[in-house]
Structure 1
Amino acid sequence: MTTQRNRTVRGTGRATAAAVAALCAVAALPGPAWAAGEAPYAYDSAAQRVKGAATTTDSPRLKAGSVYRDSIARDGKLYYRVDLDGVHHAYVSVVAVPPPGAKTDYSDGIKVSLQDGSGSQCGAQETQFGPAGYTRPLTAYAVREVEPGHDGGSCQSPGAYYVLVERTSKSAATPEDWGLEIRHVTEPEVKTAGPTEAPEDWPSASPQPPGGGPQKRKGGTSFHDAASVTEGEWRDDIKPGETLFYRVPVNWGQQLFATAELGSSPTGDEYVSNALVLSLDNPAGGHVDDNTLSYNGKQATLALDPNPPVAYANRFDSDNSVSAVRFAGWYYLSATLNPDLAAEYGDKPVPLTLRVNVVGKANNGPGYVGDPGPFAVTDDDRDAAASGQSGAEAEATSGTMKVVAATGIGAGAVLLLGLGGWTLAARRRAAQEAAAARTAQGPTQYGPPPAW
């Protein structure tokens, strides 16, 4: 069945301490914080504060490979600058984060566009809340693509380009400022030009449910701390108003299928429309697709529309859901539960099952000139997906290993040092707790507590 196209340390002692501290930092990473039934968005800790300007002349510069934070008012239009060469494709993505409980209209949304110095629009994407109508993080990105063999011209020459971020509705019902998380990444050119047309059709038959049975995997609260998953069936619980994030490594030539199921309720049968939104975003932070389901207390399942296998040529399609599946890397799934469920079913978590299939044999892709950056699936990525590491945890682990390498200390020695410290601390805590308990109970026939 097919779907037709339609859419670096001084001194050994100091080095050891640095390595151990780094390792301990990984273990001490905080878990998600939940508040009043809604999860705050965990902005990337490396994000720099920036303030978008009202004009291109005053716009602050965004550096490639960096993450930024800003906010945008109800009637906001913000400009930023990016300096581009004439070789790399460029992407600027925005996550718009309304405050929890903010009012929204179905037409509220975010638009990101990229313009050259003459005002020509190079690319744009707009995303709205749509029929679901309730607050959740929204993503959109703008693209500057370099055409093979270009001789300059509109959106092709090196120079200053301008990113415009807009709220697309000025509804009086949505006065609150929205937070913004902004990323700028570049994609290298390819060694050899390939097809310049997107596929006309691709497999769309739903694959067999992933084997192995359900496994527990707690979703993250943002793209930065999204829980890594691989093919399989993943169990979580989601509260009204929460958005949970997961990421899946999808390589060149592979096709992602995803479904979400809300479990049945033991207490009610009230109908809630648009009870769950399941969204898919690509490695550059561009929106790919979303879907919703309604709920009446019985189990309900939704599936994302089947997109083609990941291919470089997909970018030539006019349908955003096809063109967005243009490179390998981490693809992000997010699930948001309608806050209205609290009124009908209480503010208790609802069982959520995420089923992920990654179909097809991975291939080498187009062959980039230089480091592909986020547009690849590495062994470390596959390990993270198998273990459930979030992006933040994977980055911290990678940083720790770099410290270990720089200090010349074996990873095993660092682990032993770290584990020794943790064991000693645990014994001390246990002894203190035991002593406190005996003091509270008074003397016993067994005499004084042992000395540790």
Structure 2
Amino acid sequence: MRKRTGIGRRAGALIAAAAAVGTVAGSPARARAADGEALPPYTFDSAAQSVRGALSSSDARPLKAGQTYRDTLGKNGKVYYRVALDNERNTYVSVVAVPRPGGTVDHGDGFQVSIQDDSGTECGDQRVSFSSARYARPLAAYARRVVNPDSSGCQEPGNYYVVVERTTKEGSDPADWDLEIRHLSEPLLKKAGPTGIPESWPSATPAPLTGDPRRRQGGSGVHDAASLTRGEWRSDIRPGQTLFYRVPLDWGQQLFATAELGSSATGDAYVSSALVLSLDNPALGHVDDETLGYSGKQATLALGPQRPVAHENRTSYNEATSGMRFAGWYYLSATLSPEIAKEYGDGPVPLTLRVNVLNAAKGEPGYDGDPGPFAVTPDDRKAAEKGASGAQTVAAAERGDAMRLVAAAGIGTGTVLLLGLGAWTLVARRRAA
């Protein structure tokens, strides 16, 4: 009887574990804010780890490749992090700075992120600011360290330092900014590729897309950015709100994107820089942005034409061209000025994105290793068709793993129960004999 009891306990434990997995897999997503409520906050990566930037490089905490982190940065703050680098992969560290919604900002407010070696030499940096659209919204920028045998600086393996520095003008909101930090790496090429870019390239705007826009609401952060393919996409955007989208671009493909604000029946006052449309690359390096004024009539802005995605684009000194340096998810973000609420009310304004992706995908440039996020996979294309965000894709993968665990637990439990029943029957027969 003790054997039977033990078997029953083990089976019960397995069944309870399987049931617990099923409960986790079926947990509902958080509810979204209803119309008229406060704007949804920025959606941070749920897997992000907390890190504290140091005031000195000597105290810098490490950032691991492939990991996302969260921190805060005060007014005119300057903080350091540490990365251990080799000579086998390029390195990109991005920062998404999230100011307090509704806070006052100046055109010169912004931040810079750089990577420095142990002698203070800057390997690569980027600075972004609010510019003419002087209202709080998330800003993204990246620093890079590229392995280049022809370069004399930043080529030794060892410790490097990521420096994030905020600029705050007098009169701007001094509140801390939230930071979302990502450390990504890119394999080198098996053999050297082209070192220059063509002087001429197809920059003509393609024929406009026509038809009925499909509904696809943008996300509230990079992590839950709504996936888009070629087509017209309709969202609703409220004053002060930023919506995030992502588009898969493979090697050789070229992106054209426009944003249209729908007309209003409640006024005709002019609001300058009413809409900002920004483009960031797969490493969250800033590529381009454009602004649009609004006076109640439908109005459209277009991002400047970008070169087709190519590895050699990184050789350009032009920031937008250099940013189109790898395949993967490119991020679009649209922000509506809070000033719209004063003239047209706090209700949503119709927003239509028109996304055009030209050219067939080319082969990858010959990476010596797994490109990781710097590629477009069949699953990425499926996600774009369905509109699945990165967060939803991760959740679906976790549900799949959980269901496989449930199935394995079910098979294991059934086998154990059958063996236990068999042993119990055999013992009973022997006792009867």
Query: What's the TM-score once normalised by structure 2's chain length?
Result: 0.88
Secondary structure of the residue aligned to 2:161 is strand
Shift of 1:246: 0.5
Equivalent residues in 2 for 1:288-437 (5 A)? 288-406=287-405
The Cα offsets for residues 168-209 of structure 1, whole Å up to 9 and x where unpaired, read as 234332211111110000001112211011232321222223
Letter in 2 for 1:318: Y
Q: Which residue of 2 aligns with 1:24?
A: 26
- Alpha carbons 1:37, 1:240 under 8 Å: kept: no
Secondary structure of the residue aligned to 1:274 is strand
Which range moved further: 15-24 or 283-292?
Answer: 15-24
Q: Which residue of 2 aligns with 1:165?
A: 164
C-alpha distance in 2 between matches for 1:208 and 1:347: 34
Shift of 1:38: 2.9
- Alpha carbons 1:18, 1:403 under 8 Å: kept: no
- Classify 1:115/1:105 alpha carbon distance in 2 versus 1 (closer, same or farther; 3 Å): same
Secondary structure of the residue aligned to 1:203 is coil
Letter in 2 for 1:158: P
- Classify 1:76/1:82 alpha carbon distance in 2 versus 1 (closer, same or farther; 3 Å): same
Secondary structure of the residue aligned to 1:335 is strand
- Alpha carbons 2:108, 2:169 under 8 Å: kept: no
Q: Which residue of 1 aligns with 2:250?
A: 251
- Classify 1:61/1:33 alpha carbon distance in 2 versus 1 (closer, same or farther; 3 Å): farther
Secondary structure of the residue aligned to 1:400 is helix
Shift of 1:283: 0.5
Secondary structure of the residue aligned to 1:132 is coil
C-alpha distance in 1 between matches for 2:191 and 2:76: 45
Secondary structure of the residue aligned to 1:93 is strand
Letter in 1 for 2:249: V
- Alpha carbons 1:105, 1:174 under 8 Å: kept: no
Letter in 2 for 1:395: V
Shift of 1:263: 0.3
Larger radius of gyration: 2
Equivalent residues in 2 for 1:159-308 (5 A)? 159-210=158-209, 213-308=212-307
C-alpha distance in 1 between matches for 2:32 and 2:169: 32
C-alpha distance in 2 between matches for 1:66 and 1:74: 26
Shift of 1:401: 1.9
The Cα offsets for residues 120-176 of structure 1, whole Å up to 9 and x where unpaired, read as 1000000000001111100110000001477xx521111000010011234332211
Secondary structure of the residue aligned to 1:57 is helix
C-alpha distance in 2 between matches for 1:36 and 1:105: 27
- Alpha carbons 2:281, 2:330 under 8 Å: kept: yes
The Cα offsets for residues 356-399 of structure 1, whole Å up to 9 and x where unpaired, read as 01111101121212211100111111111111111101111112
Shift of 1:62: 0.6
Q: Which residue of 2 aligns with 1:115?
A: 116
- Alpha carbons 1:110, 1:139 under 8 Å: kept: no
Q: Note if 1:133 corresponds to 2:146.
A: no
- Alpha carbons 1:95, 1:138 under 8 Å: kept: yes
Letter in 2 for 1:399: E
The Cα offsets for residues 77-128 of structure 1, whole Å up to 9 and x where unpaired, read as 0100011111110000000100111110010001001001111100000000
Q: Which residue of 2 aligns with 1:105?
A: 106
Q: Which residue of 2 aligns with 1:75?
A: 76
- Classify 1:195/1:22 alpha carbon distance in 2 versus 1 (closer, same or farther; 3 Å): farther
Letter in 1 for 2:217: K
C-alpha distance in 2 between matches for 1:387 and 1:361: 20
Shift of 1:14: 5.5
> Unaligned 5+ residue runs, structure 1?
1-9, 411-452
Secondary structure of the residue aligned to 2:61 is coil
C-alpha distance in 2 between matches for 1:168 and 1:120: 21
Shift of 1:69: 0.6
Secondary structure of the residue aligned to 1:131 is coil
C-alpha distance in 2 between matches for 1:406 and 1:199: 52
- Alpha carbons 1:210, 1:233 under 8 Å: kept: yes
C-alpha distance in 1 between matches for 2:31 and 2:382: 20
Q: Which residue of 2 aligns with 1:147?
A: 148
Letter in 1 for 2:275: L
- Alpha carbons 2:57, 2:81 under 8 Å: kept: yes
> Unaligned 5+ residue runs, structure 2?
1-10, 410-433
C-alpha distance in 1 between matches for 2:14 and 2:76: 56
- Classify 1:118/1:221 alpha carbon distance in 2 versus 1 (closer, same or farther; 3 Å): same
Shift of 1:39: 3.1
Compute the RMSD of aligned alpha carbons.
1.9
Query: What's the TM-score once normalised by structure 1's chain length?
Result: 0.84
Q: Which residue of 2 aligns with 1:47?
A: 48
C-alpha distance in 2 between matches for 1:319 and 1:299: 32
Shift of 1:405: 4.0
Q: Which residue of 2 aligns with 1:422?
A: none
C-alpha distance in 1 between matches for 2:185 and 2:18: 36
